[in-house]
Structures are given as structure tokens and as C-alpha cells.
Amino acid sequence: MRGVKAIFIKQAKDMTKNFSVLIMFVLFPVVAFGMTHFVARGNDDISDTMFTTMMASIFVGMALIQSACTVIAEDREKKSLRFLVIAGVKPLAYLLGIGGVILTASVISSFAFGYIGGFGQGEFVAFMAVMISGAVASIILGATIGIYAKNQQAATGLSMPVAVVLGFGPMVAQFNERVESVVGIFYTQQINVVVNDFSAGIAYPLSVIWINIAVLTVLFVIAYARKGLRD
């Protein structure tokens, strides 16, 4: 527990000074706000929540995967992880500390998306539930990529194709039914599913997300067993 707390505090301080990571948590809500207010509002052809769900999906699919994997890859590349492990930090404690900060930041960004979307109270809770569950999935996926990547450059190279599919898939799905049927299995698409029809409830989307989380956890365990966190 001491290790988790130490890594959480370290990562929280580091993230406030890491512009390239911090910007991802600010940029997507700002773009959603701008597009919603200046493009969607007053335009009968565009739903008021369209840009919120679009940016929220891209945020969960891209920003969180990128953040998790680059943070881990940087600590490996600079050999910081080696000193933590020798000081007694268990790999799971390290990953919980890093993941905890990214999850906390994503909750703040998700609140911003929820506010911009103008959801009612029940809708807001449903939206937050899928966003937080999606964030958990992305952090696990990002950590898996971070374990495989030797450095930050490799982390970006490995994560980008995955992030593009998961982040932009739901956006393309809004205009193409075939794509929609394919990306329906992705956790990022469930944000669209929930927002498009709040009355249908969140049981089905949440179950899809948690199946994704289960599959990603298995991938993470395999990656960790093979590569560990050694640099």
C-alpha cells in the first residue's frame, strides 16, 4: 500500500508538469465544448450530444492508452523503474499507482464531457459509468503496450494503430452501419450506444465493456508473465 501511495503521489506531481500527457486530458473536452457550442447548437441536422460522444470515445480510446503506455515506457527507458523495484516497489503496486492517477484524471475529464453534453442526472450517472469503465479498459491496454515497448518512441508506434481503431472506430460508426456492427464489440463504441439511447439502460453496454476488460486483463497477465517490468 505504501508503494501504491508513493507512486500515486509521484505520478500526480509529475503529470502536472508533463505537458504532452496533460494536454490530452484538457484538449478533448475543450474541442467537444467548442464543437458543441459553435457547430452543433442551432444546427437541426446535428445532435447536441454528437460531438461530446465523439470526443469522449476518442479520448477514452486514444488519450488514455497513450498516457498509460508512454508513462510506463518512459520509466523503463530512463531506468527509473529499476530503482523503484530495488527499493521494494512491487510491479502491481507500481501499475496501480500509475493507473490510479490516470483514472483520476480521466474522471475529471469525464465530468467535463458530461457537463458539456448537458445530460440529466440519471443520464449523467450512466455516462460516467461507461466512461470510467472504458477508462479502466484503456489503462489496462495501455499498460500492456507499455510492458512490451522498450522506450517512448516504441510505445507511440505500438499504441497508435490500436488507439486509432478504438478511438476513431466509433466516430466512423456514426456514418456507416457496417462499421457500426464491427466496432460494436469495442468498449469505446459503448459510449455511443449509451448516449444514443439512454432509455435502453446501461446493462448491455457495461457488460460489453467488462467483457473487454476481462479479455484485456488476460492479455495483460500474459504480457506481464512474459516480459515483466524489467528494463
Partner 1 sequence: MIKMNNIVKSFGAQTVLSNVSFEAKQGEIFGLLGRSGAGKTTIINILTNQLSPDNGSHRISVSLHETGLMLDEDGLYDRLNCLDNLNVFADIYGISHKKSSEALERVGLGSSAKKAVGQLSKGMRQRLALARAILHNPKVLFLDEPTSGLDPSTAQGIHQLIQGLQKRGTTIFLTTHNMDEAVKLCDHVLLLHKGRIVEQGVPAEICQRHGAIKTVPDLEAVFIKMTGEGLS
Site of interaction with partner 1 (CB under 8 A): 2-3, 5-7, 9-10, 13-14, 17-18, 78-84, 86-89, 230
185 to 90, 150, 180, 204, 211: CA distances (angstroms): 33, 30, 9, 11, 9
Q: Element (H or E) spanning 196, and its range?
A: helix 189-196
Task: Closer to partner 1 by CB, 15 or 194: give it.
Answer: 15
Question: Least CB distance from residue 18 to partner 1, whole Å?
Answer: 6
Q: Give the residue among 163, 132, 124, 164 at the shortest CA–CA distance from 146.
A: 163
Task: Closer to partner 1 by CB, 50 or 149: give it.
Answer: 149
Give the separation between CA 15 and CA 10, rounded to whole angstroms: 9
State residue 71 phi and psi, 5-degree precision.
-60, -45
Grid cell, residue 91, equals 510491479
Task: Closer to partner 1 by CB, 6 or 128: give it.
Answer: 6
Question: Least CB distance from residue 22 to partner 1, whole Å?
Answer: 11
- Contact, 102 vs 14, CB < 8 A? no
Question: Least CB distance from residue 146 to partner 1, whole Å?
Answer: 16
Question: Least CB distance from residue 84 to partner 1, whole Å?
Answer: 7
Task: Closer to partner 1 by CB, 41 or 230: give it.
Answer: 230
Task: Closer to partner 1 by CB, 10 or 123: give it.
Answer: 10
Question: Least CB distance from residue 221 to partner 1, whole Å?
Answer: 22
Give the separation between CA 156 and CA 3, rounded to whole angstroms: 27
Question: Least CB distance from residue 2 to partner 1, whole Å?
Answer: 6
- Looking at 36-151, list the stretches that DSSP marks H as alpha helix, in order from N- to C-terminal side: 50-58, 64-77, 80-86, 91-117, 121-148
Task: Closer to partner 1 by CB, 94 or 220: give it.
Answer: 94
Question: Least CB distance from residue 17 to partner 1, whole Å?
Answer: 4
Task: Closer to partner 1 by CB, 94 or 113: give it.
Answer: 94
Cα torsion 68, 53, 26, 103 to 10°: value is -40
Give the separation between CA 7 and CA 91, rounded to whole angstroms: 11
